[in-house]
Structure 1
Amino acid sequence: MKKQIISTALALMVLGATVQPFGQSEKKAFAADSTMRDISTMDLVKEMGVGINLGNTMEACGDWIAEVDAEWGDGVLTVEEYETAWGSPVVTQKMIQGMADEGFGVVRVPVAWSNLMEDNYKINKDLDARVHEIVDWVIDADMYCIINIHWDNGWVNTFPDKKDECMKRYQTMWEQISDSFKDYGDKLMFESQNEELGWEKVWNPWGGTEGKAESYALVNEINQKFVDVIRKSGGNNPKRHLLISGYNTGFDRTCDPLFKMPSDPANRMAVSVHYYTPAGFAILEDKDETWAKARATWGTDEDYKELNANMDMMKNGFIDKGIPVIVGEYGCPTKGKEPDSV
């Protein structure tokens, strides 16, 4: 069974959900590689290999950060204060190089671009420069890099209620991001969103089919807007490899016939899903919930059967059709878990 998992996942690049700090380093100037090769997205994803998320850093956000600074700080928020707000240290080049030294081939850098945002959804120039610095370190370490619009304080969740304004915000942000990174080569991939595309307020997956078509239609529309904006941008963006967020990045929901990959003149797209299955092991620690019972172990025949079935689902739904799959997040807590199972 384990060999089957390997064989069905050959075209999947997977990213762990956590980051280990490796120490400090001086900043190093780096000119981004602008090479854009004649290579399919499938071959590019295979080159990526196994990856890691730069978690709890550039996507750290929350209104409370400004409130804390107003009470205890100098009232002038900085990029560094956001970067460290969720408990992670300032990212250094040595940390990034450490990931490469451990054998990772790609780093996903989730970003909350709304931090320090100015009027009319203008991205803060210092935040933009900091993301550039990290991306440069990743590419300089001979790894691929993925950047996205992440949870970003949850504004994407308001799409069903404020569609026009949210779409304006989404388009304006991606116009700026794509223009800022337009000259990077194919070591840099853009991801349309994290896992917020799909809304239970529109369709409750556990309550029938009412609203399902509408929710999927909005997901597809947003992903198409992403592709259209990038392809109309300058530099290398007409040929950039893009990562399309699945429906809530769930395996079964993304494989639903209502989910549609965008139309792309360059035909350079992969699909993104996340894997926290079974929830009792991969999400819960040591306390049961109504929707799952906490588990300390994983690895039974049934567990492998479930995993194989999910991988086969993505293989049949996407890989066999020439669309590579990236598992952008997976993992489990360690509290209350057997180390070997983790």
Structure 2
Amino acid sequence: MRIITTTFTSILLLFLFNNSFAQLSPYDAAKAIGRGINMGNTLDAPKYEGEWAPKAEEYYFDAYKEAGFQSVRIPITWDVRVSKTAPYEVDPEFMDRVEQVVDWGLERDLIVIMNCHHDDWLKDDYSEANIARFEAIWTQISDRFHTKSDSLLFEALNEPHGLTIAQAADANQRALDIIRIKNPTRNVIIGGNGWTAIKDLLTMPIPKNDDHLIGYFHTYDPWDFSSAEVMKTWGTTSEKNYISGEFQKAKDWSIQNRIPVIISEFGAVHDTDYNSRMRHYAHYVEESLSRGISFMAWDDGGWYEIYQRGAKKWHETKDILIYNTNKTPTNLIVTMNPDSTVMMEWENRNTSDAKLRIERKLHDEFEIIDEIDPTSTSYNDVLVEPGDIYQYRISQIVDEKLIISYPQKVDLKQYVREPYGGTSITIPGILEAENFDKGGQNFTYYDNEAENQGGAYREEGVDIEERKDGGFHVGYLEVDEWMEYSVNVAKAGNYTFTTLVAAQEKGGKFQLSASKSNLKTSVDIPSTNSWENTTEVNADIYLEEGEQILRITILKTPAFNIDKLVFAEKVDIPTSLEDELSNVQALIYPNPFSSSFTLRFSEDTDHGKSIEIYNVVGNVVSVEQVKGAQATITLEQVPEGVYFVKYQSNGRDYVKKIIKK
């Protein structure tokens, strides 16, 4: 009887001991993962720890905790640490090492995930022998770690590329069957086949009769950007919307299957465009938070490094992962003004009355340089020096919590503005769209793609195509792209500018702004049913006299092409020819004309001896001599259309538009 009682008591105590820690539901566990990080390329190096990245140290976990991370994923590759024949014993020293590293995380109240990571021997050959070896590994993991707290989660298999959907599901089920023997309520993380992308999650067969599952997915979309396979920028509205749509698919799957989901890998390599990479991390964080999906950024101690293990320092991405939210300022743009000051612009997303703190980094750390009104959407930093590289971000205390926007960088070293061709464009005159100033991205132009998609004329990122009728135009235009031009305005006044544009569809719009007067004019684009055939669109703008910068900014699509802008003084309609001559240096009449027109100068005008007449593509169609104050110009040989007369008056060049009908 005593034996029976003792045996029963032992069984009861064993049952209670095995289940005393497993209290977290899958939803509680997924929520507890929160903002997490990977300790990659460490225990998952294929041959030995330290092969790919520095060995794990206990202080890493202090750093993770102090930074504000809530979870750590510890990828583990078992292959060379496990015998090749039955009973497939794991090297005891390696198992001790794994437990030591796992305990470092658990002792600091972090959620810890351990897995089978780069075990490609199974993924490349899903044979009976390899399946038995896989099962033996999970048997030993399950036995060794079954007494750990429920803050330890198991991940069955990382990225089973090479396995079919059925094989990946079979591997998940086999691992689960073994885990459940001694870990009946431990939360287990499972994913689809392939690279465990969101599309793989959606097709994953779900194990039945298991109430302690969490789904996972990885995404580095778009891969050509995040891997630096193609040097490009990232962050357009369409690019962000694509990522948002993918996250929504994962959330919908979670709701439909009543299984929480996490993203346990994402990131971008350091070789990508810095500003784009910051936007990329921030958007992933915001999409995760907005859908209640916990995240774990990939940190491999190398290309995707977040924590600098040797230096015990963090890269800027850490603050995005910890402090970025859906309430931080967004769409942050940092540019250099023509006067070498720095302009910040952004959008606000909360109604807090707390001051916005402008932070700047020149060397090691960000410093608060100013505090401004919370409704502000721009800031001009005048305390900068050409030749330095600055980073900017915006922080705020909202509901007693610190939130920080993603940073953006401006490199003053590369910003030396130079007019294309060496001299400023004269106004009145012709501004060719492709002749924007030299200087670089975010300074003299901004284009969403790093490459010239048109492949013509220049190597900068602005998309330029060669025209069939000669010359070039700027195309592939997208919202928020812009180009700047150094111009020299002959005198202050109102100017009419005629833009030659081509578009398959109407509805596009651009804005012309002038730095000296700070005035803006928008131009609506009609359809020409062609990318080549242009039409003229007229608008007016007031320009101050002298050197200044004109900027063309794309406001709306559908896309359109810009060939050139032709500027002419806007002249009020006079009551008589003498009245008109009193206001201008020269008079052209009749305009429109049929075969000839008269060019008349005022008596006190020192005019040039010849005039040039251009067609709308900038080709000279006639050069005429002027001997006195008046000349009649015959243009019978040219077809009907718009032309431009270039003449001199008192040492300055002027351009007037004429129309032949």
Whether TM exceeds 0.5 here: the answer is: yes
Consecutive unaligned residues of structure 2, counting only runs of 5 or more, are 1-17, 279-661
Q: How far apart are residue 97 of structure 1 and its match?
A: 1.0
Q: How far apart are residue 61 of structure 1 and its match?
A: 1.1
Q: How far apart are residue 218 of structure 1 and its match?
A: 1.4
Q: Does 1:241 align with 2:177?
A: no
Conservation of the 8 A alpha-carbon contact between 1:36 and 1:185: yes
Alignment of 1:171-320 (within 5 A): 171-199=135-163, 215-232=164-181, 234=182, 237-248=183-194, 249-256=196-203, 259-265=204-210, 267-283=211-227, 285=228, 287=229, 294-320=230-256
- 1:241-297 deviations in whole A, cap 9, x for unaligned? 0001222211112213xx2111244x00011210110111122x2x4xxxxxx1432
Q: Does 1:84 align with 2:50?
A: yes
Consecutive unaligned residues of structure 1, counting only runs of 5 or more, are 1-32, 63-81, 200-214, 288-293
Once residues 117 and 341 of structure 1 are traced to their aligned partners in structure 2, the CA distance between those partners, rounded to angstroms, is 39
Q: In the alignment, which residue of structure 1 is the partner of 2:512?
A: none
Q: In the alignment, which residue of structure 2 is the partner of 1:208?
A: none
Q: In the alignment, which residue of structure 2 is the partner of 1:130?
A: 97
Amino acid at match of 2:259: I
* Aligned partner (choices 47, 57, 68) of residue 103 of structure 1: 68
Q: In the alignment, which residue of structure 2 is the partner of 1:45?
A: 30
Once residues 51 and 149 of structure 2 are traced to their aligned partners in structure 1, the CA distance between those partners, rounded to angstroms, is 31
Once residues 115 and 22 of structure 2 are traced to their aligned partners in structure 1, the CA distance between those partners, rounded to angstroms, is 22
Q: How far apart are residue 117 of structure 1 and its match?
A: 2.4
Conservation of the 8 A alpha-carbon contact between 2:79 and 2:121: no
Larger radius of gyration: 2
Once residues 34 and 83 of structure 1 are traced to their aligned partners in structure 2, the CA distance between those partners, rounded to angstroms, is 33
Q: How far apart are residue 135 of structure 1 and its match?
A: 0.7
State, as a whole percentage, how many aligned pairs show the same letter: 29
Amino acid at match of 2:177: D
Once residues 77 and 22 of structure 2 are traced to their aligned partners in structure 1, the CA distance between those partners, rounded to angstroms, is 29
Conservation of the 8 A alpha-carbon contact between 2:23 and 2:150: no
Q: In the alignment, which residue of structure 1 is the partner of 2:550?
A: none
Q: How far apart are residue 102 of structure 1 and its match?
A: 0.8
Alignment of 1:23-42 (within 5 A): 35-42=20-27
Once residues 35 and 301 of structure 1 are traced to their aligned partners in structure 2, the CA distance between those partners, rounded to angstroms, is 49
Alignment of 1:102-121 (within 5 A): 102-118=67-83, 119-120=85-86, 121=88
Once residues 240 and 148 of structure 1 are traced to their aligned partners in structure 2, the CA distance between those partners, rounded to angstroms, is 14
Distance of aligned partners of 1:37 and 1:168 in 2 relative to their CA distance in 1, 3 Å threshold: closer
Conservation of the 8 A alpha-carbon contact between 1:34 and 1:185: no
Q: How far apart are residue 166 of structure 1 and its match?
A: 1.6
Deviating 4+ runs (over 6 angstroms): none
Matched pairs, number: 258
Q: How far apart are residue 159 of structure 1 and its match?
A: 3.1
Decide which structure has greater strand share.
Answer: 2
Amino acid at match of 2:24: I
Q: How far apart are residue 178 of structure 1 and its match?
A: 0.6
Conservation of the 8 A alpha-carbon contact between 1:251 and 1:314: yes
Once residues 191 and 297 of structure 1 are traced to their aligned partners in structure 2, the CA distance between those partners, rounded to angstroms, is 34
Q: How far apart are residue 47 of structure 1 and its match?
A: 1.6
Amino acid at match of 1:325: V
Q: How far apart are residue 35 of structure 1 and its match?
A: 5.0
Distance of aligned partners of 1:101 and 1:320 in 2 relative to their CA distance in 1, 3 Å threshold: farther
Once residues 332 and 35 of structure 1 are traced to their aligned partners in structure 2, the CA distance between those partners, rounded to angstroms, is 40
Q: Does 1:155 align with 2:121?
A: yes
TM-score (norm 1): 0.71
Conservation of the 8 A alpha-carbon contact between 1:35 and 1:184: no
Distance of aligned partners of 1:54 and 1:183 in 2 relative to their CA distance in 1, 3 Å threshold: same
